[in-house]
Structure 1
Amino acid sequence: MEKSGGGPRLIIVCGLPGSGKTTVAKRLEGRLRAIRFSPDEWMAALSLGLSDKESREKIEALQWKLVQALLALDLTVIIEWGTWRRSERDTLRLAARTLGAAVELHYLSVPADVLFDRIQRRGLENPPIERDAVFRWFERFQVPTPEEMALFDEPATSGIDP
């Protein structure tokens, strides 16, 4: 992996399940020669259910240790954890900044019906997600405000969102 040239960079891809986080993160990964971390992929590789909260937390903690080590090596790293709460995004942003990294936030907003259709088509969740659950997610998700977005750096590249 070659160095980013512009210093270390953390890219947070944020959104609900089915919003296109993996699609966007993979495009960024290729375009920026970055390293991408997806807990869903690790969980699938370990034959864990995607709804296993305890395992997800452990995997994200391990990924975060690796992310920090890679940022210290002046690399570009992408995480696609969903980051539903502003406090999660703030913690990641502030910690990465202590390592001298620029930090981007890509928020993907998709209507509930589209999310539900995408989730059903990909068929990764077991048990399957019910339509009502998707609507409840919208109540719990903290959408980044313009004030929050202003705390992040400008994207290294644009035109990637699905």
Structure 2
Amino acid sequence: MRVGTGPARGGRVLLVCGLPGAGKTTLARRLEVERGGVLLCPDDWLVALGLDPLDARPRRRFERELWRHALRLAGRGLVVVVELGGWTRPDRRRLREEAHRAGVPIELHALDVPFEERWRRVERRNAEPGAVVVGRDELAGFERWWQPPDDDERAAFDPAPGGGAGG
């Protein structure tokens, strides 16, 4: 998928991934400010559109379109922080390969947080008005999908400018 007209001229994608409660949104918002980026968070958009962020089918379709948009923006020189689950190695590899085919550098910021800490965070978030409520059993069920990146996978992504590594 070629979305730009050449190298990204300073644009890049910062892929933030992890399971619910790992701190993706907190990290993504910090990166947005620190790196002067544009944040694309599927949950925010889905809720604003009146869609259930936990409904897998429309979410997958929406995330594909949001990803294409992220590559277009990065191809025009913007730093784009994309908060996707990115739970599996094949998913992250596909995103990395698509970004590289588009001439867009991509950093990986993966958060691997123990279940009990994630549940504590999700339980607190569940109590907030308008929250997308995730139950403990549902959160535990997500565990089977998570494949934390190893050192080899992290090395396949682009380093942050200045030689820093992603999260």
Normalising to structure 2: TM-score of the pair? 0.84
Match of residue 59 from structure 1: 62
Aligned in 2, Cα 1:159/1:118: closer, same or farther, shift over 3 Å? farther
Unaligned runs of 5+ in 1: none
Cα distance per residue 1:26-84 (max 9 Å; x no partner): 11101111111111001110122221112211211221121121122021111111111
Equivalent position SS for 2:81: strand
Counterpart contact for 2:9–2:76, Cα < 8 Å? no
One-letter amino acid of the structure 2 residue matched with residue 133 of structure 1:
E
Match of residue 71 from structure 1: 74
One-letter amino acid of the structure 2 residue matched with residue 154 of structure 1:
P
Normalising to structure 1: TM-score of the pair? 0.86
Work out which of the residue numbers 130, 137, 140 in structure 1 matches 2:135: 130
- Percent identity reads 35
Q: Give the drift of 1:136.
A: 2.9
Counterpart contact for 1:71–1:99, Cα < 8 Å? no
Counterpart contact for 1:8–1:100, Cα < 8 Å? no
Distance in 1 between the 2:155 and 2:12 partners? 16
Does 2:32 correspond to 1:29? yes
Match of residue 151 from structure 1: 156
Match of residue 85 from structure 1: 88
Cα distance per residue 1:62-108 (max 9 Å; x no partner): 21121121122021111111111111111111111122222110111
Moved over 3 A (4+): 156-161
Unaligned runs of 5+ in 2: 1-7
Work out which of the residue numbers 18, 38, 41 in structure 1 matches 2:41: 38
